[in-house]
Amino acid sequence: MKKLLLLSASAGLLLSGCSRDYTPAAGATGEAIFKAACLECHEAIEGKDTIYYEIASEKRSTDFFAKKISSGSLIMPKFPNITGDSLKAVSQYAFEHSIEK
C-alpha cells in the first residue's frame, strides 16, 4: 500500500510539470498575469506580504523568471502561451517580488 501511495504521489509531481494552457489577455499587466497563472501555487513568504520567492543572487534576474515560466521544471508547469510583452511583464513582476536568498 505504501508503494502504491508513493508511486501515485511521484506521478502527480511529474504530471504537475506539464504545460498549462493559460493565455493572458492582450495588454494584461504583470500583476494580473501573476495572479491568474501563478498564485495557485506561489504564495507570499510568511511575514512578507508581497514577496513570493527567495532566489540565489546569481539566478535572481528577469531572464531567470522568463526561462522558468516558458520552460517549467520538474514541479512547475511551463506556460507556452505567455510570450512577448506578457512574458516580460510577468517576469518583471516576479523579479520585483523576490528577494535574494
Q: pLDDT value at position 18?
A: 56
Specify the pLDDT at position 20.
83
Task: Tell me the C-alpha distance between 39 and 37, whole Å.
Answer: 6
User: What pLDDT sits at residue 37?
Assistant: 94
pTM score: 0.79
Tell me: pLDDT of 17 over 70.
Answer: no
Please report the pLDDT score of residue 15 as a whole number: 43
Tens-place pLDDT, residues 42-76: 999 999 989 999 999 999 999 999 999 999 998 99
Four-residue CA torsion sign, 15, 22, 33, 84: positive
CB 89 within 8 A of CB 33: yes
Q: Does domain 2-100 have CATH number 1.10.760?
A: yes
